[in-house]
Amino acid sequence: MLGYIVKRLISLAISLFVASMVIFGVVEVAPGDPASFMLGINAQPDTVAALRSELGLDQSKLDRYLSWVSGMLTGDFGTSYTYRTPVAQMIADRMWVSLPLALYALTLSTLIAFPAGIFAAARRGGPGDLAVTGATQLGVAVPNFWFAMMLVLIFAIQLRWFSAGGFPGWDGGFWAGMKALTLPAIALALPQAAILTRVMRSSLLDILGEDFMRTARAKGLSSRQALWRHGLRNALIPVLTIVGLQFAFLLAGAIIIEQVFFLPGLGRLIFQAITQRDLIVVESVVMLLVFAVIMVNFLVDLTYAAVDPRLRTRV
Amino acid sequence: MSRNLILGGVLTGIFVVAALLSFIWTPDSVEAMNIANRLKPPSADNLLGTDHFGRDILSMLMVGARTSIAVALVAVGIGMGLGVPLGLAAAARRGGMLDEVIMRMNDLIFAFPSLVIAILITAVFGPSATNAIIAIGIFNIPVFARITRGAALSLWKREFIMAARVAGKTRSRISVEHILPNVANLLIVQGTIQFSLGILAEAGLSYVGLGAQPPIPSWGRMLADAQTMVSLAPLVALIPGLTIVAMVLGLNLLGDGLRDALDPRLKVVRA
């Protein structure tokens, strides 16, 4: 197990290194100079030069890359060009919207998908199964931002149960915050729930064909008992991987949904930074999201290997 | 033919025909604005009503289909064009340096949140349909590389490949002449699925303003424009959304149907 962890740690480090190079590289080749962009077309050349040196733009690319990476390793994400505030602080503020939103959506997606997948697998080929698989077909075809708009139309504009957007902050109380995140979380969760339902269903169907399931039935368990006692536990392994992947996806996927609901999360931060050419913010937020995705995958792999020793040989 | 195949084929066909037709004819101009006629409900003149500039929604959707299909199709082309040779090469020398490098690169691209990187690319290089294609296409490469490699690996163990090797054919020649034709079905099915994901991705990017730029109509931007008026004219938001759903659903059904039709073995497993 130790050898496996070391191997995975090395590949984790390589992934993060390459990711940081790619992100830095993409942003580096961005056309236009941030300093002259920020100061506008009428800026004096010496003002631009002063700002360039203040922002560190006159240093070599390598120096800037190194200071960016070493800064991030110590929790210093640099200072925003436009807001003059530490990027780490901006990210921390926005995190309190994006992270709960992703967790909320993940919970909803799991709560929908598990029962739906089990229901469909237990009634394989029957009308209930057909209804569930049909619904998942539809679920994966719906763009979540459009679904979000429809939710706003029905629940905010027509029924007035929720507000159409915005976020009151957690200071206004836990429930007020949760209420503001409910429609966005549903919109985010729906397509994910459809995917997860399919995985749950097909994973269970695979397990149902296994010998030990036949044995369970042979020793006198009803098909429902066999499903709950033996099938479910074994079917969960692939499902949990997808849940892990989905969390990362939800965190990143929230970007567009945050636009629909005007939520002050990481997604809106990225878009603001992009329009203001605040490259250090763009770089850092993207790197943070990539880091989160890679870390979640890593942890899922590790949990997996701890549960199932056979997987340790596969690196 | 299965029901999926027919339904998916018909749905997809309608959109392809509409997109092609839009090159020579649309019910109305998509650029001429007629403010007096804005946000009109469906009528004989405008079958699906008009938008906030008084443009005919049906015409916008037809031209938008062109944008969506073009972006998604080229993105699939990029993914296949680069991914398939990479997958074939990796499988031809299993466990070799090339295989290792290709698969690690693949893992890396998979680990990236695709949407974030697509947004980064389009933001840095400027929003346009071309950059949307590149951003979506890059993420198709590992998908095709992986699926090609997986299928090719099992083929390399088969007798007819052994025979070809004994006959003195080189690995690259075997890959092209024997492996590729045998993985083609799989690639077609995966291509349909990536196509539908591409349609969704294009819609998302153009919704946030990073796809095709005005005045070129796109489904995503129609939705973005409709958002502010959703309470005044719900249909303007409803129709483009349903269009996207129908197109993606059609492609997914087509993919499922093709898989069943092209590979009878899979059908048994799924049933």
Decide if A290 and B116 are in contact by the 8 Å CB cutoff: yes
Q: Least CB-CB distance to A140: which of B226, B244, B252?
A: B252
Q: Least CB-CB distance to A149: which of B115, B203, B227?
A: B227
Q: Which of A146, A147, A205 to mutate to test the interface with B (most CBs of B within 10 A)?
A: A146
Decide if B111 and A297 are in contact by the 8 Å CB cutoff: yes
B61 neighbors B219 (Cβ within 8 angstroms): yes
Decide if A153 and B248 are in contact by the 8 Å CB cutoff: no
Instruction: Quote the CA–CA distance of A250 and B113 in Å, as a whole number.
Output: 10
Q: What is the mean pLDDT of chain B?
A: 84
- Please give the tally of structural domains in chain A: 1
- Residue A15: list chain B partners with CB under 8 A: 107-108, 111
CA torsion angle A215 A220 A223 A225 (round to 10)? -100
Tell me if A259 is assigned to some domain: yes
Give buried/exposed letters for B76-94 (b at 16+ CB in 10 A, else e). Answer: bebbbebbbbbbbbbbbee
B80 neighbors B140 (Cβ within 8 angstroms): yes
Decide if A150 and B241 are in contact by the 8 Å CB cutoff: yes
For B191-205, what is the mean pLDDT? 91
Q: What is the pLDDT of residue B128?
A: 83
Q: Least CB-CB distance to A255: which of B119, B244, B271?
A: B119
Q: Does A66 touch chain B (CB under 8 A)?
A: no
A266: nearest Cα among A234, A293, A241: A293
pTM metric for this prediction: 0.85
Q: Does A272 touch chain B (CB under 8 A)?
A: no
B268 pLDDT tier (thresholds 50, 70, 90): very low
pLDDT tens per residue, range A256-283: 888 888 888 888 888 888 777 777 888 8
Tell me if A85 is assigned to some domain: no
Q: Does A291 touch chain B (CB under 8 A)?
A: no
Tell me if A292 is assigned to some domain: yes
Tell me if A15 is assigned to some domain: no
Tell me if A79 is assigned to some domain: no
A142 neighbors B245 (Cβ within 8 angstroms): yes
Read off the CATH number of the domain in which A126 is found: 1.10.3720.10
Q: Which domain holds residue A278?
A: 95-314
- Residue B246: list chain A partners with CB under 8 A: 141
Q: Taking 90 as the threshold, does the pLDDT of residue B76 lie above it?
A: yes
Instruction: Quote the CA–CA distance of B77 and A40 in Å, as a whole number.
Output: 41
For B16-39, what is the mean pLDDT? 81
Tell me if A129 is assigned to some domain: yes
SS3 A166: coil
Decide if B116 and A26 are in contact by the 8 Å CB cutoff: no
List A residues 91-130 in contact with B (Cβ-Cβ < 8 A).
125
Complex-level ipTM: 0.85
- Residue B234: list chain A partners with CB under 8 A: 153
